[in-house]
Structure 1
Amino acid sequence: MKKWTITLLLSIAMIVLAACGSDSEKSSDGGDSKEETYTIKVANFYAEDHPQNIALREKFKPLIEENSGGTLKVEIFDNNKLGGEKEFYTAVRNGTIEMGLPGMIMQADVPKMGVIEWPFLLNDMEHAKKVLDGPIGKELTDELSEKHGVHALTWSANGFRMVSSNQEVASMKDFKGLRLRMPNTPIFVKVGQQLGANVSPMPLSEVFTALEQNVVDGQDNPIGVVRSSGLYEVQSHILESRHGFSPNVLIVNQKFWDKLSADQKKVIEEASKAYSDYEWELSNESYEADKKFLMENGMKFVTPNEKFKKQMSDAVQPIYEENYKEFPWAKEMVEKIKAEAN
């Protein structure tokens, strides 16, 4: 009996210890402390050798995979492989893609997001990064989660937009009758119209063919896109108008984000910051290299003088007046952005 009692007590003790061990593997919210493993698809519309994809490959992906202890894997889908901007942004919203790198496509529903692209607002890359990395950048993305179901991780640079064309644009009169492709975003369509061009909105994925077939005479994009997307093969001139700055925002589906552990979120946030800083650096440094490459491949650059710059800036001022009337926050926001240049 005594031996049986001892055996019973030992068995009970082992059960209790096992239960305690099981409890120790639970997280404070009652879930398993063992983290779930996820594969994160990241979609964008840039060519493979664009600074955005270089930074994603060299910083974002390795940092996440190394620092997550193998619980997170990153797959990058560049060059519209998961659809154009509208398609992959919608997919991130509904959760079929975990992450994406759109431009300001969401400004139709979140107008404040679009202010950063208003014409001739930002002076240079330093000014742009200071604005977007600070409180203003956070304010611009505050409504994304509630309205679109996506969480903003960080801002990065596409660059200052310029007009590339198959004919010289060196004065305001050269805009007259120019069939100009612009992104299908109201602010850019208005900019092109105010400059005097005949605007044809279309996604980047259709631009090369439209230029090649002479459907349009020109398009607007940072010169890094002209190089990486091969547009120099079907164009001859670039006007260094710098008429607007275009950023990108790295986003993640909100429901997916909410499923991650605190440690996994921290890993992604740190990798996002490293990717962003590196991408800004690459974009800033690449301008002269891109310009040299494009000139070597036959493109001629037109640098506007101060008079021409002012004429372009004056031409788009009605856009500001219109937005000031429509959005109560607009004038104060523009003033805050301009103040960051000081």
Structure 2
Amino acid sequence: MNGWKRFTRGIICSLILIVLLAGCASQADNSKSGQTHRIKVAHYFAANHPQNIALREKFKDMVEKNSKGTLKVDIYENSKLGAEKEFYDGVRNGTIEMGIPGMIMQADIPKMAIPELPFLFKDFKHAKTVLQGPIGKELTSEMESKHGVRVLAWSANGFRMISGNHPITKMSDFKGFRLRMPNIPNYIALGKSWGANVTPLPISEVFTALEQKVVDGQENPIATLRASGWYEVQTHVLESRHMFSPNVYIINKKFWDKLTPEQQKVIEEAAQAAADYEWKLLEQSYQQDKKFLQENGLKFQSPDEQLKKEMETAANPIYEEFYRMNPSTKELIQKIKAAAAN
């Protein structure tokens, strides 16, 4: 009997322990689900750029509303938390929860350089189909393991064009032209292939460099040209459409793992909705931006067939070098080119 009593007491004690542990776990879950988080979102676009408008009107509104107040969003536009490298590193190390960089991570993750190879995308539809489909997922597949950030959505900066203080109508016009470009190898190689003197600068320093004539021109989508006020110190735009610049919504992985599944779903859905809205705004705004810039004195020109062909031919060695350094990417690039026909 004594043995039976000891056995019974052991069972009862075990059951009590299980109940207590379950209660503690439940309290921990409830504490986690009830926790309020502030999300800092950093990017380099001006306040009235479509990227920031989409963040403000879609992402912030949806996250705060659909999380029932457990998530708060603070948007830091116009490089307020540092230039692209600084805020990207901030998201990686967790001092900033979210960011919208360009392809600055390509130095460590070569696949992320692919979308910004010259003359790769035909139009917005082509770019969006590729980046928001399976190829886009393949491009970002190493972001978590290598950089500790989770990619939530692809958004767009747009097709890049060259603005300057004199017209560019032939290849020889690039000679001696001091062209600001981001400090990214593909960009620098492209500018040099045309014969320009490339000056790498952060986007936050471009206006001053143009105003003080440290550089003669820059290349960006015209939405950025307008939103950043660079039209005040430029006279001409070449509609070269030489490169498509995407952006990615990223979130620190450790911060992400602290969130409940419900909060994660809210953020994912809001990020995709905001990115879709931004694509729409950017594509629709092109003619409006062009008209505004023309009304403010900028002269637009399209490259003739000869100039366009010469610019593309000059860029071919960039692909050859990229394939040499990253031979496994050739098939992926061919898939992107083939998607233009669909």
**Structure 1 length-normalised TM:** 0.92
Residue 145 (structure 1) aligns with: 144
Cα distance change, pair 23–336 in 1 and its aligned pair in 2 (3 A): same
Residue 132 (structure 1) aligns with: 131
What CA distance in whole angstroms lies between the structure 2 residues aligned with 1:106 and 1:76?
A: 22
Secondary structure in structure 2 of the residue aligned to 1:151? strand
Letter in 1 for 2:197: N
TM superposition shift of 1:158: 0.1
Residue 36 (structure 1) aligns with: 35
1:224 to 2:210 alignment:
no
Secondary structure in structure 2 of the residue aligned to 1:316? helix
What CA distance in whole angstroms lies between the structure 1 residues aligned with 2:291 and 2:182?
A: 26
Query: Is this contact kept in 2: 1:154–1:272, CA < 8 A?
Result: yes
TM superposition shift of 1:308: 1.5
Letter in 1 for 2:181: M
Secondary structure in structure 1 of the residue aligned to 2:79? coil
Cα distance change, pair 284–30 in 1 and its aligned pair in 2 (3 A): closer
What CA distance in whole angstroms lies between the structure 1 residues aligned with 2:32 and 2:97?
A: 22
Structure 1 residues not aligned, in runs of 5+: 1-15
Query: Is this contact kept in 2: 1:27–1:33, CA < 8 A?
Result: no
- Map 1:1-342 → 2, pairs under 5 A: 23=22, 26-27=25-26, 32=31, 34-342=33-341
Query: Is this contact kept in 2: 1:25–1:33, CA < 8 A?
Result: no
Secondary structure in structure 2 of the residue aligned to 1:275? helix
Residues 224-277 of structure 1: CA distance to partner in whole angstroms, max 9, x if unpaired?
Answer: 110000000000000000000000001000100011110000000110111011
Query: Is this contact kept in 1: 2:32–2:259, CA < 8 A?
Result: no
Residues 94-131 of structure 1: CA distance to partner in whole angstroms, max 9, x if unpaired?
Answer: 10000000000100000100110000000011000000
Residues 135-185 of structure 1: CA distance to partner in whole angstroms, max 9, x if unpaired?
Answer: 111111111111111111000000000110011111111111101000000
After the TM superposition, which of the residue ranges 258-267 and 32-41 deviates more from structure 2? Answer: 32-41
What CA distance in whole angstroms lies between the structure 2 residues aligned with 1:280 and 1:28?
A: 42
Query: Is this contact kept in 1: 2:33–2:260, CA < 8 A?
Result: no
What CA distance in whole angstroms lies between the structure 1 residues aligned with 2:33 and 2:97?
A: 21
Secondary structure in structure 1 of the residue aligned to 2:86? helix
CA-atom RMSD, angstroms?
A: 2.0
Secondary structure in structure 1 of the residue aligned to 2:180? strand
Residues 45-81 of structure 1: CA distance to partner in whole angstroms, max 9, x if unpaired?
Answer: 0000000000000000000000001100000000111
Cα distance change, pair 21–67 in 1 and its aligned pair in 2 (3 A): farther
TM superposition shift of 1:25: 8.7
Residues 180-221 of structure 1: CA distance to partner in whole angstroms, max 9, x if unpaired?
Answer: 000000000000000110100111101100110110101111
Q: How many equivalent pairs are there? A: 326
**Structure 2 length-normalised TM:** 0.92
Cα distance change, pair 291–57 in 1 and its aligned pair in 2 (3 A): same
What CA distance in whole angstroms lies between the structure 2 residues aligned with 1:105 and 1:87?
A: 11
Structure 2 residues not aligned, in runs of 5+: 1-14
Letter in 1 for 2:40: K
What CA distance in whole angstroms lies between the structure 2 residues aligned with 1:28 and 1:308?
A: 68
Residues 12-40 of structure 1: CA distance to partner in whole angstroms, max 9, x if unpaired?
Answer: xxxx9xx9799579559966463321000
Secondary structure in structure 1 of the residue aligned to 2:262? helix
Secondary structure in structure 2 of the residue aligned to 1:329? helix
TM superposition shift of 1:307: 2.0
Letter in 1 for 2:243: G
Letter in 1 for 2:178: R
Aligned structure 1 segments of 4 or more residues deviating by more than 4 angstroms: 19-33
Query: Is this contact kept in 2: 1:224–1:287, CA < 8 A?
Result: yes
TM superposition shift of 1:302: 1.1
What CA distance in whole angstroms lies between the structure 2 residues aligned with 1:115 and 1:226?
A: 24
What CA distance in whole angstroms lies between the structure 1 residues aligned with 2:178 and 2:272?
A: 39
Secondary structure in structure 1 of the residue aligned to 2:34? coil
Identity fraction in percent: 61
Letter in 2 for 1:256: F
